[in-house]
Amino acid sequence: MRRRAFSSGLLDMSDPWKVLIAMEEFCRVDPGLGLSAIASMFGSEILMLFGSDAQRERYLAPVMRGEMISAVAVTEPTGGSDVAGARSTMERVPGGYVLNGEKMFITNGTVADFYYVLARTSPPDSPEKRHRGLSVAIVERRWPGVTATKLRGKLGMRATDTAEVRFEGVRVPEENLVGEEGKGFYYIMTFFNISRVYVAAQAVGIAQGLLDLYSEYLSRRYGSRPPPEGAQFLLAEGITKVEAARLLTYRAASLIFQFRPDPALTSMAKYYAAEVANEVAQGVIAAMGEEGLRGRAEKLYRDAKITEIWEGTSEIEKLVIYRQLTRRSGS
């Protein structure tokens, strides 16, 4: 399915609108399956923006053809929100680095050809400047010292691979350092400020998919008769919120795709769309009664939750919004 998605031109990153809409539409029907195709390119923006020509040719080009799978390894067992607190280290040695560390909840962890790994290359000058001294390197899964262990029993998105990845004395050649040493935190944050809009699109798709299921349920149950007022209200409120989330997402995306990203707007889109997806999921499952607990509605309900967590929890999105707004107002 992944290869078909690429060969049909659906996942053509030179047309990011197409990929964003593909994300939304996949998630409307089957988020796990859609994600397992689209997330095969996870992290590509890091190389597009900060990689060398040689890195783009060796790693990015095959990913864009659907021939390689990438992964982003940022989160550690000590916590994902505190990106600057990464404990993995890359120690300088002649010709490159030696990487040691442990990463957690890594999408594509056991199937990726390579990871974009965030690790510390120098100690911070002070606790306030912890974001400095972190670097990003491309690390191939087949290299000695890399171990990936699949994590099972997730609440949702079960069709995607999630793993714990360990790096023990992994030799990383100099040419696999992305961009400049010490700028990794900035690269990852820039990436999140793009990737979060795709999570917003996931949430919009999931919420729309749930409303589709509810409409079908009402048609089955009431035929051509109007459903009870409560059902009409649920549908009207749900579709209004989904449309608002969609417009916020498209607005944030349009700025990103014009190379004028607005981190506050992107975080608003992700935070709001994820909240709408989960609110709609609660309402629809409750309104469909026993039918809601089975089949696709139950699956979309479980898939919705992760949109509030990955690539920045809703709390982190709210902190970003607040910080960006206070920065703008100069307070």
Ligand X SMILES: Cc1cc2nc3c(=O)[nH]c(=O)nc-3n(C[C@H](O)[C@H](O)[C@H](O)COP(=O)(O)OP(=O)(O)OC[C@H]3O[C@@H](n4cnc5c(N)ncnc54)[C@H](O)[C@@H]3O)c2cc1C
Instruction: List contacts with ligand X (CB under 6 A).
Output: 71-75, 79-81, 105-107, 154, 157, 162, 306, 309-311, 313, 315-316, 319
Least distance (Å) between residue 86 CB and ligand X:
10
Per the structure block, which two tokens stand in for 190? 């820039």
Per the structure block, which two tokens stand in for 66? 């659907």
Per the structure block, which two tokens stand in for 52? 């060398």
CB of 53 or CB of 128, closer to ligand X: 128
CB of 152 or CB of 220, closer to ligand X: 152
CB of 313 or CB of 324, closer to ligand X: 313
Phi-psi region of 15 (alpha: psi -120 to 50; beta: other; left: phi over 0): beta
Report d(CA 331, CA 309) in Å as an integer: 29
Report d(CA 62, CA 68) in Å as an integer: 5
Least distance (Å) between residue 91 CB and ligand X:
21
Nearest to 34 by CA among 66, 6, 70, 1: 1
Least distance (Å) between residue 221 CB and ligand X:
34
Question: In the chain, where does DSSP find H-type helix?
Answer: 2-7, 16-29, 31-38, 44-50, 53-55, 61-64, 184-222, 229-257, 263-288, 295-305, 314-329
Q: Which residue is nearest to ligand X (CB)?
A: 80
CB of 150 or CB of 294, closer to ligand X: 150
Is 243 a catalytic site residue? no
Least distance (Å) between residue 87 CB and ligand X:
13
CB of 35 or CB of 242, closer to ligand X: 35
Spot the catalytic one: 24, 45, 311, 317. 311
What's the start-to-end Cα distance of the chain, in Å?
A: 50
Least distance (Å) between residue 324 CB and ligand X:
15
Answer yes or no: are the C-beta atoms of 161 and 109 closer than 8 Å.
Answer: yes
For the annotated catalytic residues, the residue numbers are 311
